[in-house]
């Protein structure tokens, strides 16, 4: 029996690890699948756990309002030490690039437990963008023994860092597994969204939370959103505002109380996936949404100067627009007004996966532990 401990802490890690946890649970004869959450996020993580029916074996309940990187790093490291000592897993799985990711990989390394990194190999090459995620994923990658790269580009990034080729497998991104699973289940909007949003108008979906955008860049973004609504009153703006208090204050200061701009609480993933599908256009600095929106055929303007996800840009459905008010305004109005330009961007592509990534990850783990000797084709996405 192989004991696999999956560790995660934030909303996106929860969404992207849920398919892996569910897949491990399909094979109780091989795996003892345990889950530890740091709860670096609380409400935003809990809705994901509920949606996917995951009951963590351990919950460090770390989140504090206005927490610093030091708080999460030290709290998670000490909390995970005890869990690892108690469970002694054969393998720890971490996901992506949050502080939980890096710390969980470090905690496992300190006890010489093998680490598998899901969504490995994303890079911008800029230490401070995204901050602190670029270093989190590099450090997690250095500590990891096995690398589940979502795309070929991610694998090439790892090879350039001299990661051994036989420790890397291209699997597709598990976010597509989660998205297909969720968007495939019908959802009827109720409450505020059903009553207050004018669905006959085109929907501009906005999200924004990145640390390197805090302050002036975010101000520029929100001013651009306000100006878009002034210039194109026939658009309806929906902005589920991240729980971070800094983000909320600025969003409410600049965009609060404007008719047709709906500042709402973060949505559960099920309604959110359906909202993405109903949107005309997405403005975001989110990583995950750059992966999801293309497969729904929605153009994405990325509110950042760099991206570790070049594949959708190359496919033409995602464009980097940065944080400058005028640039965001210009690019958004162009997509609203120029239907040919819109059509060129709004085509469904799946550069990030086919919805079968979790199966490939688990198959690779089976092979590692000599559970399965199936042929290579079954667990590679290349
Ligand atoms: C974190 C990750 C970031 C990821 C993002 C996804 C780090 C350093 N950052 O950033 O990589 O893209 O999550 O959303 O790992 N809060 C709540 N309830 C919640 C969640 C957050 O109230 O459910 C508030 C708390 O006041 C908390 C603050 O948001 O202190 C910031 O949370 P934190 O996890 O530190 O940073 P994020 O900006 O969410
Ligand atoms: N998301 C959600 N509800 C929301 C906003 C986003 O469920 O109100 C989902 C979104 O579909 C994606 C993930 O949360 O899967 C992205 O999370 P976030 O933008 O917080 O983090 P990032 O992807 O930038 O790390």
Distance CA 19, CA 147 (A): 17
Q: So what's the pLDDT on residue 376? A: 56
Q: Which residue has the tokens 């040919």?
A: 340
What DSSP assignment string belongs to 201-255? SEEEEEE---GGGTTHHHHHHHHHHHHHHHH-TTEEEEEE--S-HHHHHHHHHHH
Q: So what's the pLDDT on residue 334? A: 98
User: Pick the catalytic residue: 133, 134, 236, 308?
Assistant: 133
**Superfamily of the domain at 191-346:** Glycogen Phosphorylase B; (3.40.50.2000)
Q: So what's the pLDDT on residue 241? A: 98
Probe ligand 1: pick from 68, 243, 247, 302, max atoms within 8 Å of CB? 243
How many residues are listed for the chain in this entry?
382
Tens-digit pLDDT profile for residues 159-203: 999 999 999 999 999 999 999 999 999 999 999 999 999 999 999
Q: So what's the pLDDT on residue 380? A: 78
The answer to whether the CB of 67 is under 6 A from ligand 1 is yes
Q: Low-confidence residues of the chain, pLDDT below 50?
A: none
What DSSP assignment string belongs to 322-342? -S-HHHHHHHHHHHHH-HHHH
Ligand 1 mean position to 210 CA, how many Å?
Answer: 9
Domain residue spans of the chain: 2-173+353-368, 191-346
Probe ligand 2: pick from 19, 102, 213, 289, max atoms within 8 Å of CB? 289
CATH classification (class only), 2-173+353-368:
alpha beta
Domains 2-173+353-368 and 191-346 share a fold: yes
Judge contact between 150 and 170, C-beta under 8 A. yes
Q: So what's the pLDDT on residue 251? A: 98
The pTM score is 0.98
Ligand approaching nearest to the C-alpha of 45: 1
- 3-state SS class at 269: helix
């Amino acid at each position: 029996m192989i004991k696999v401990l999956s560790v995660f802490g934030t909303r996106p890690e929860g969404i992207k690890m849920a398919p892996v946890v569910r897949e491990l649970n399909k094979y109780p004869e091989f795996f003892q699948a345990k889950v530890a959450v740091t709860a670096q996020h609380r409400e935003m993580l809990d809705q994901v756990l509920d949606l996917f029916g995951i009951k963590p074996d351990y919950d460090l309940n770390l989140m504090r309002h206005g927490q610093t990187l030091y708080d999460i790093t030290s709290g998670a490291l000490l909390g995970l030490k005890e869990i690892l000592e108690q469970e002694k897993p054969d393998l720890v799985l971490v996901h992506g690039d949050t502080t939980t990711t890096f710390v969980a990989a470090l905690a496992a390394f300190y006890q010489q437990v093998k680490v598998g990194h899901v969504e490995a190999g994303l890079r911008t090459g800029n230490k401070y963008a995204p901050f602190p995620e670029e270093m989190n994923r590099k450090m997690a990658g250095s500590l990891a023994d096995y690398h589940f790269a979502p795309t070929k580009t991610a694998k090439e990034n790892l090879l350039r860092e001299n990661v051994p080729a036989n420790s890397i497998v291209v699997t597709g991104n598990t976010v597509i597994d989660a998205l297909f699973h969720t968007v495939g289940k019908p959802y009827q909007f109720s409450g505020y969204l059903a009553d207050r949003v004018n669905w006959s108008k085109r929907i501009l979906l906005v999200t924004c939370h990145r640390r390197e955008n805090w302050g002036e860049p975010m101000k520029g973004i929100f001013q651009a959103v306000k100006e878009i609504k002034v210039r194109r009153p026939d658009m309806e703006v929906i902005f589920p505002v991240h729980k971070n208090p800094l983000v909320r204050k600025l969003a409410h200061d600049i965009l609060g109380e404007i008719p047709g701009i709906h500042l709402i609480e973060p949505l559960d993933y099920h309604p959110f996936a359906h909202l993405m599908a109903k949107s005309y256009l997405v403005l975001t600095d989110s990583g995950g949404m750059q992966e999801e929106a293309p497969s729904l055929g929605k153009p994405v303007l990325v509110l950042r100067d760099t991206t570790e996800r070049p594949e959708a840009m190359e496919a033409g459905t995602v464009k980097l627009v940065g944080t400058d008010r005028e640039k965001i305004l210009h690019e958004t109005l162009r997509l609203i007004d120029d239907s040919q330009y819109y059509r060129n961007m709004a085509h469904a592509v799946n550069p990030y996966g086919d919805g079968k990534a979790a199966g490939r990850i688990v198959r690779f783990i089976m092979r590692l532990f000599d559970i399965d000797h199936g042929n290579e084709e079954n667990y590679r996405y290349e």
